[in-house]
Structure 1
């Protein structure tokens, strides 16, 4: 290859290289331009997003501020409404308080009105009386106020002393003296001014006295003891006088206790109750004799019920028939008797009640006669050819007799000789002995139980 050809080849290669470099530069420039545009677009997009975020944040903040402002306004309105409600309630309470006071004290309202209607003319009259003598009107007003106001000042001082429990007599005397002086001034003035109308002078003089009189009636006339209080006081004095008459020793002992103890430590009733316990050993109104009488009465009542064990039903029926044909009849508690030899009276069929019935020592006549007759017949048949028990054997059978008696009581039956004889398989005579022993011991136990209950109470 020649030089020229090599040169042309080199130039062509250089030209191709230059073209490629130019194309590369152009491509790079286009890429740079594209990247620049993408960067600008991204920046604008980011700016737009940021702007939207800022606008949203501003809108949210504005909404929050509006909500906060609205809530604050609602809270302020609520506070204002509450304050208005409180003020309204306070006014209503004041009005209600005044209304209640007016309803509860109508006398005070009308007394105050009448007192003002009485005092004001009296003051004006005294001002006119002093003014007619040439005294300056201001001095006349002060002097009149001194006279009327002094009377009322003394009146209220007396009321305060009376409420505190101090003597108030001197205040009342001073009040009436001052009021009479004021009344004299008014009377003198109008008697000299209207000699032909003395009643006018009397009216104005009375205006200085009437208010004081009305107040005195209100503060003293509405107090004091009522009729019921006075009656109760009289009854109490009579009661104390009768107590000292009926219980002289105890009343003297109570006086000694009152004088021995510190003043006010006990009252009269406590001292008398203590003296009663010292002398009688029981609560006021009771005594060992009364307790003994009550206990004996219960024992005698049980013994009276026990008498029915030894009375035949025929005798009881005869007594009731006699009561029925009494010329002074009384209503039978349990109906009319039946005139029959076998049918029992309804009254005889009732079970005994009360403490003696619970103890099993009630009326034995309440048993069915036909049943008793059958029991007696069976016992008599079993007793034929038997023998009586000795005292030692009966003593040995006593616990079994108590058990049998308890069973009879549990069944609602009285403790009878027939019942004991049937259960213990013994003769009727032995049953009667055991029955007497059991009933006496149960009576003693009943008395002991009642005594324990009384002591416990």
Structure 2
């Protein structure tokens, strides 16, 4: 019995232990499930909060974008208004006359139309018809005005439009004057004012479109000078003018300008560029030859001219001021200082400069010639003229070499190069210089 009871107690204890274990496991399962539900709910709550945050952020950004767009639109509208104002301001600054003319025109047209409506209404004309007829009268004047402006811009005659415009304007002015003269016979100035309101606008527009155009004073002066020049040209050169007229009538219209045809006619008539003639070239050549002859005389008589200039300065009845000191040779010499080097006319012939060195050379040569004559009598010694002419080609070659080397054609240089006496060299030098001068004059004539 005891063994059975013990087993029974052991079984009941085991059952209770198993029940406790089952309840523990069930509790743990319930706790795990509860924890899982709580975790899911927490995650769901977090997701909902995150979504709400995202929605709020998106809404905030949307509001910022909308606010930015509204500000940009306001700025754009402000900029557009400023641009319009600036455009109008620039136009007003650039066209103040047009602005004031338009203002006065409006102030003139509106009273004129109202006055005409009143005049027709007083004549028992329907107000609507009176308004149409008044607009027709003023509108006709302005339609003719703008038609004339378009014709003038297109280069067509606009005189008939201007005449018609003024006729219509005077008709409208007559209606206004007649009406107010009848209404206020004691105050005719009122009638004159209303009549002028139909004319002032047309007058201002006509002055603006025609009075502000035309040539400037300088352009008119230039045009006058050109006409005078053309008249004088045709008067002084009648043969060339006839030739130019023939050429102009022969070629198609507009092919050449008047100056181009005149230049061609001048070349046909004279064979030279315009302004020059063969006679003028002959005069210029003769003047150059005379100048060269004067230079030759000065070359041969330089010491005498200097002495004459000094004596002229000493006997001058209007002496120079003492502060100027002793007068220089250039101031009292009848012949001005000649250019040096390649600029001198005689340099082209290889004659050299007319400076003090050349004068000294001439003086030394004359002194040597005088001494040789005193020593040997009046009879000339040395080579004959025929022998010197035979030496002329060699002298010309030696002179060309001297000029190429930058030297002067002197008797000493020729004597040294050709090995002849100084007196013969002086005479040969004169022949060489004369020959080179002759070539210079011939070259000038051919070049002219």
- Normalised by the length of structure 1, the TM-score is 0.68
2:217 is equivalent to residue 223 of structure 1: no
2:418 is equivalent to residue 424 of structure 1: yes
Aligned residues: 371
- Number of the residue aligned with 2:198: 208
The CA distance in 1 between the partners of 2:430 and 2:259, in whole Å, is 50
- Normalised by the length of structure 2, the TM-score is 0.69
- Number of the residue aligned with 1:336: 327
The CA distance in 1 between the partners of 2:319 and 2:399, in whole Å, is 39
Residue from 217, 231, 238 that aligns with 1:248: 238
- Number of the residue aligned with 1:389: 383
- Number of the residue aligned with 2:111: 121
Tell me by how many angstroms 1:250 deviates: 1.2
Tell me by how many angstroms 1:122 deviates: 0.7
| Matching of residues 31-70 of structure 1 within 5 Å | none
- Are 1:111 and 1:215, in contact at CA under 8 Å, matched by a contact in 2? yes
Residue from 333, 356, 370 that aligns with 1:366: 356
The CA distance in 1 between the partners of 2:78 and 2:428, in whole Å, is 92
Residue from 90, 105, 111 that aligns with 2:95: 105
RMSD value, Cα = 4.1
Deviation string for 1:171-207 (max 9, x for gaps)? 1111111111111221122222222222111111110
Per the alignment, in what secondary structure is the counterpart of residue 367 of structure 1? helix
- Are 2:112 and 2:198, in contact at CA under 8 Å, matched by a contact in 1? yes
* CA 1:210–1:373: 2 relative to 1, 3 Å: closer
The CA distance in 2 between the partners of 1:87 and 1:316, in whole Å, is 95
Deviation string for 1:81-124 (max 9, x for gaps)? 9x999999987776665444333322111111111110011111
* CA 1:99–1:408: 2 relative to 1, 3 Å: farther
- Are 1:376 and 1:418, in contact at CA under 8 Å, matched by a contact in 2? no
Per the alignment, in what secondary structure is the counterpart of residue 125 of structure 2? coil
Tell me by how many angstroms 1:442 deviates: 2.3
| Matching of residues 56-205 of structure 1 within 5 Å | 98-205=88-195
* CA 1:371–1:181: 2 relative to 1, 3 Å: closer
2:280 is equivalent to residue 286 of structure 1: no
- Are 1:131 and 1:137, in contact at CA under 8 Å, matched by a contact in 2? yes
* CA 1:334–1:268: 2 relative to 1, 3 Å: farther
Deviation string for 1:217-276 (max 9, x for gaps)? 112212233333333333233222222221111111111111222222223222221111
The CA distance in 2 between the partners of 1:394 and 1:91, in whole Å, is 104
Deviation string for 1:330-386 (max 9, x for gaps)? 89x996259xxxxxxxx9898575232343335556326666555667788999899
- Number of the residue aligned with 1:442: 436
Residue from 218, 227, 251 that aligns with 1:261: 251
- Are 2:142 and 2:165, in contact at CA under 8 Å, matched by a contact in 1? yes
Instruction: Answer with 441-450 or 87-96: which moved more.
Output: 87-96
Residue from 371, 379, 399 that aligns with 1:405: 399
* CA 1:151–1:304: 2 relative to 1, 3 Å: same
Tell me by how many angstroms 1:157 deviates: 0.6
Deviation string for 1:290-320 (max 9, x for gaps)? 222223323332332222342262x223211
Query: What 5-or-longer segments of structure 2 have no aligned partner?
Result: 1-60, 330-335
Residue from 279, 287, 291 that aligns with 1:301: 291
Deviation string for 1:373-411 (max 9, x for gaps)? 556677889998995334554344334323443455467
* CA 1:95–1:124: 2 relative to 1, 3 Å: same
- Are 1:183 and 1:206, in contact at CA under 8 Å, matched by a contact in 2? yes
The CA distance in 2 between the partners of 1:440 and 1:297, in whole Å, is 19
The CA distance in 2 between the partners of 1:91 and 1:290, in whole Å, is 74
